[in-house]
């Protein structure tokens, strides 16, 4: 199974809804809601404000005022929230008083999952029927392509929250395959609303980085700075314009500081990619890490500095060449009970 | 199905970087449908950082770097890289010797570019079909199986390196041995080509078990 090391907040929430049948009855939740509303009005009266227009923020402020707490954990302090936020949504009991289940697929064990699959397949058949009708009437099929690049499917955990029951990896991948099949058909626009329930927008805005303008030296030479990291090495680079292509690291020429060809190749990589080898001068400072890590850090720093000298299109090309991303690979920690990060101790039979 | 072999520090949505300068200078009209979709996807998704062995200069070749990594022992990339460059130099010297000794009409047929020789030699060493062990009813059979491109390249490189390390005289240097092997492979002679032919013959001999394969 996939083990996600780099996770988004959507993945980190534990899904309480699917853990089992409900622990709180509906009547209990209703009572909690009534008590909450009464308490809200009492609180508003105590604070001397209007009970009708008492919002959640006012409640939080009032509670923080009336019950000051010095605890560090925010979730341990006194809390007054609407019961639907406090008691997570859980499946109601699926059978009536005579013991008969409500849903016809109850005895499959995964009733919501199978009913979802049936629904999606029904939509697929609808689309195919519509397509056949269009072909029979010799009308052209609509070929508007959905923008696949900007959206992603729901993750397994989000699907579990939607269905309020556990979904296994196999089931999840089958569902995604079915959705992709549905989307691949040309007349899938009919079921656009249904598909949108299962797709989410990926924010494109996160890639907008502000490019700093060029600064000018006392002699009038334009320059710009950039910082880069790799493993444990930290580097800062200052790239000057109108140069001859000299590169100095910590006051030493690169030929003496990096005797290995691979490191010097890495330093020149951004310049060679943009075709500006003889045009810029560079002065960098670097500390920490090893030989290759320092070279990678300076490469990132110089690429970031070069962004100010270059058009937006070329910045996009640099990003697609992998010059502007910070390399997240670091040394894996050693685990207890093993000799190294992966190597286990020698297995002895006795 | 989602079946990765190793973990990765990157989110699965990160895409591989494209380092070659030429692919960014193509005008929009020349691209095919798939390439256009790829471009759109790249514009939205984040991209992994380029590894230190990859560079956009003319001198970096992915096959050569893969071969250098396979030759490397205990992480000594400096030594492996120097051995590789000495090998290419040795190939160039031998070919130049041959070139100057050859008569006029044969001078054009002699290939002097060591990179071309390396690629051609690797291609000649790649097996087309491989054998895999399948256990049926207690007995293990060697079943002929088609190989993927990656596997072919890996086998060719592995055979070359093991051949050079084991079956030569102890005192000869690695660049010498490797250049000799590569030139022989370029001309479709030599022990590595023989090994490839032996594998093909075994596969042909075990043709009867080909139906055991289920993938």
Q: Measure the CA dihedral B47/A320/A213/A226, to 10°.
A: 60
| A268/B9 Cβ within 8 A | no
What is the structure's pLDDT at A143? Answer: 65
The answer on A221 and A196 residing in a single domain is no
Are the Cβ atoms of A322 and B17 closer than 8 angstroms?
A: yes
> With an 8 Å Cβ cutoff, are A149 and B43 in contact?
yes
Residues of chain A with pLDDT under 50: 1-12
**A334 belongs to a structural domain:** no
Which of A202, A275, A328 is the closest to B9 by Cβ? A328
- What ipTM was predicted for this assembly? 0.85
Query: Which conformational region is residue A235 in: left (phi greater than 0), alpha (psi within -120 to 50 degrees), or beta?
Result: beta
A132 and A184, same domain (yes or no): yes
Q: Per the domain annotation, does A266 fall within a domain?
A: yes
Domain count, chain A: 3
Q: Which residues of A touch B (CB under 8 A)?
A: 1-6, 8, 147-150, 152, 169, 173, 202, 204, 207, 260-262, 265-266, 268-269, 272-273, 275, 292, 295-296, 300, 316-317, 319-323, 325-330
Please compute Rg for chain A using Cα positions: 30
pLDDT at res. A3:
46
d(CA A317, nearest CA chain B) in Å = 7
In a domain, A117, yes or no: yes
Residues A311 and A223 in one domain: yes
Q: What is the pLDDT of residue A38?
A: 92
Asked whether residue A188 falls in the same domain as residue A238, the answer is no
Domain check: are A234 and A317 in the same one?
yes
Residues 6+ apart with CB under 8 A from B190: B181, B184
| Residue segments in chain B with a per-residue pLDDT below the cut of 70 | 1-6, 30-31
Phi, psi of A249 (to 5 degrees): -120, 120
| Chain A positions in Cβ-Cβ contact with residue B55 (cut-off 8 Å) | 265-266, 269, 272
Residues A157 and A119 in one domain: yes
- The pTM of this model reads 0.75
Residues A195 and A238 in one domain: no
β-pair type (A247-249, A281-287): parallel
- CATH assignment of the domain containing A276: 3.30.230.10
Domain boundaries, chain B: 14-60, 76-212
Q: In the prediction, which pLDDT does B43 show?
A: 82
- Please tell us whether the domain made up of B76-212 is placed in CATH 1.10.455.10: yes
What would the 3-class secondary structure string for A243-304 be?
CCCCEEECCEEHHHHCCCHHHHHHHHHHHHHHCCCCCCEEEEEEECCCHHHHHHHHHHHHHH
For residue A13, being part of any structural domain is answered with no
B106-B107-B110 Cα angle (round to 5): 90
Domain interval for residue A141 = 106-201
State the Cα torsion A188-A192-A198-A200 to the nearest 10°: 110
Instruction: Determine the pLDDT at residue A16.
Output: 57
Decide if B50 and A202 are in contact by the 8 Å CB cutoff: no
Cβ pair B158, B173 in contact under 8 A:
no
Taking contacts as CB-CB distances below 8 angstroms, the residues of chain B near A319 are 47
């Amino acid at each position: 199974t996939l083990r996600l090391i780099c996770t988004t907040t959507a993945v980190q929430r534990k899904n309480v809804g699917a853990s089992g049948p409900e622990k709180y009855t509906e009547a209990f939740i209703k009572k909690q809601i009534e008590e909450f509303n009464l308490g809200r009005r009492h609180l508003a009266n105590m604070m001397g404000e209007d009970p009708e227009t008492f919002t959640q923020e006012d409640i939080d402020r009032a509670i923080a005022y009336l019950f000051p707490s010095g605890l560090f954990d925010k979730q341990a302090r006194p809390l007054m929230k609407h019961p639907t936020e406090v008691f997570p949504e859980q499946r109601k009991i699926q059978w009536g008083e005579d013991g008969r289940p409500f849903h016809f697929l109850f005895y499959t064990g995964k009733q919501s999952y199978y009913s979802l699959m049936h629904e999606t397949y029904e939509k697929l058949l609808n689309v195919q029927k519509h397509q056949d009708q269009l072909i029979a009437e010799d009308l052209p099929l609509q070929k508007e392509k959905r923008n696949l690049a900007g959206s992603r499917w729901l993750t397994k955990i989000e699907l579990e929250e939607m269905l309020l029951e556990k979904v296994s990896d196999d089931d999840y991948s089958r569902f995604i395959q079915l959705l992709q099949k549905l989307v691949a058909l040309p007349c899938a626009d009919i079921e656009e609303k249904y598909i949108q329930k299962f797709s989410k927008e990926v924010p494109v805005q996160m890639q907008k980085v502000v490019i700093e303008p060029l600064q000018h030296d006392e002699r009038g030479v334009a320059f710009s700075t950039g910082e880069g990291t790799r493993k444990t090495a930290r580097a800062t680079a200052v790239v000057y314009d109108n140069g001859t292509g000299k590169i100095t690291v910590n006051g030493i020429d690169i030929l003496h500081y990096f005797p290995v060809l691979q490191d010097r190749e890495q330093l020149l990589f951004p310049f060679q990619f943009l075709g500006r080898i003889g045009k810029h001068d560079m002065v960098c400072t670097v500390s920490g890490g090893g030989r290759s890590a320092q070279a990678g850090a300076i490469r990132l720093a110089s690429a970031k500095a070069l962004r100010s000298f270059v058009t937006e299109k070329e910045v996009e090309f640099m990003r697609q060449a992998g010059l502007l991303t910070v390399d997240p690979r670091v040394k894996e920690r050693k685990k207890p009970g093993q000799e190294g990060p992966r190597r286990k101790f020698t297995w002895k039979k006795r | 199905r989602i079946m990765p072999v190793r973990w990765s520090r990157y989110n699965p949505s990160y895409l591989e970087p494209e380092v070659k300068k030429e692919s960014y200078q193509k005008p929009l009209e020349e691209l095919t449908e798939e390439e256009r979709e790829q471009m759109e996807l790249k514009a939205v998704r984040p991209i992994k950082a380029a590894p230190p062995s990859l560079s956009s200069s003319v001198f970096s070749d992915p096959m050569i770097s893969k071969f250098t990594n396979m030759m490397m022992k205990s992480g000594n990339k400096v030594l492996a890289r120097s051995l590789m460059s000495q090998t290419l130099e040795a190939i160039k010297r031998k070919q130049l010797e041959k070139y100057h000794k050859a008569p006029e009409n044969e001078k054009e047929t002699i290939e002097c570019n060591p990179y071309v020789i390396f690629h051609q030699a690797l291609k000649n060493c790649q097996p087309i079909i491989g054998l895999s062990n399948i256990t049926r009813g207690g007995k293990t059979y060697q079943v002929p199986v088609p190989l993927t491109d990656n596997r072919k390249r890996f086998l060719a490189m592995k055979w070359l390196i093991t051949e050079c390390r084991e079956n030569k005289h102890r005192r000869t240097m690695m660049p010498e041995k490797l250049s000799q092997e590569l030139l022989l492979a370029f001309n479709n002679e030599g022990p590595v080509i023989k090994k490839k032919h032996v594998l093909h013959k075994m596969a042909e001999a075990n043709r009867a078990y080909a139906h055991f394969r289920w993938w």
